[in-house]
Amino acid sequence: MQDYLAEFTNYITVERGLAPNTLESYGRDLRQYIDYIQKKKGIGITEATNATIGGYLLHLQAKGRAASTISRSLAAIKAFYHFLVREQIITRDPTINLDAPKQEKKLPHVLSVESVQNLLEKPDLKTPSGIRDRTMLEVLYATGLRVSELVSLKISDVNLTEGFIRCMGKGSKERIVPLGSVAAKYIRFYLDHARKFLASDPAEETLFLNHHGRGLTRQGFWKIIKKYAEKIGGCEMITPHTLRHSFATHLLENGADLRAVQEMLGHADISTTQIYTHLTKNRLKKVYDKTHPRA
């Protein structure tokens, strides 16, 4: 069974080019599924039926797992059995006709322009780490990058002359994103006045470094943004993805083309980007209801 898992992991890594976070999630979901059918049902993966897998999904539901979590688990299980059929380890895919539970689409939380500005001004520009933090926040809001994309940036990925960033998105897909003059100014300031104090190895190519001189991790940046969010106070929930949502919404509110925003965000399907149009419509409706005398 471990051999099958190892072969499957190699397949989705090499042939499908899935992102590291997706690989980690698939591995975790499959281990939980295998543990369930072995301990609860006393069978192996090649003996599982449609009913077995359906029962596992109901088991997750009974444990209070979110619809999104169950959908992700089913996606991993489906991909695994598709691989087993492809390799002729089994003859029939037991996941056929199994559907994930419908997910309630929640509108993302978006900051106002004023709240974004308040957040950006919190880092202390008198310290190297403060300059780094301000630069990272500016880049996130200017480009809409995912956190994993931000912390993976190399110095060579930034073109300050032309004003763009090259990043590797989900599925190892490269995209070019405009940088904006303010973010470009802060990157130059960070490179000239802060990064050299953080770097311990002159050969280190990662753009944003921690106090050990190594590249920041996703978890490290989460702690950074949480620290500044707490300084703002109030009840607003601010995560790294909040700046990505705010980037997209503010662009659309100011007349940006939906396809252009899709490309900048690196969404494979435009329906993913369209959630921001629903959000902007809701905000317009609230403004109308609040300000029109006959609303």
Q: Is 188 a catalytic residue?
A: no
* Three-class SS state of 167: strand
CA 201/CA 205 separation, integer angstroms: 9
Q: Which residue in the list 41, 109, 214, 267 is annotated as catalytic?
A: 267
Q: Is 33 a catalytic residue?
A: no
Q: Is 170 a catalytic residue?
A: yes
Q: Which residue in the list 109, 185, 214, 241 is annotated as catalytic?
A: 241
Q: Is 146 a catalytic residue?
A: yes
Residue 219's identity, in one-letter code, is Q
Residue 172's identity, in one-letter code, is S
Q: Which residue in the list 132, 195, 244, 245 is annotated as catalytic?
A: 244
Which residue, chain included where needed, has tokens 């209070």? 64
- For residue 27, what are its two tokens? 């591995």
Q: Is 244 a catalytic residue?
A: yes
Which residue, chain included where needed, has tokens 């993976």? 152
Q: Which residue in the list 170, 185, 214, 218 is annotated as catalytic?
A: 170
Q: What is the DSSP-derived secondary structure letter of residue 161?
A: T
CA 35/CA 62 separation, integer angstroms: 17
Residue 276's identity, in one-letter code, is Y
Q: Which residue in the list 146, 195, 245, 250 is annotated as catalytic?
A: 146
Residues acting as catalytic residues:
146, 170, 241, 244, 267, 276
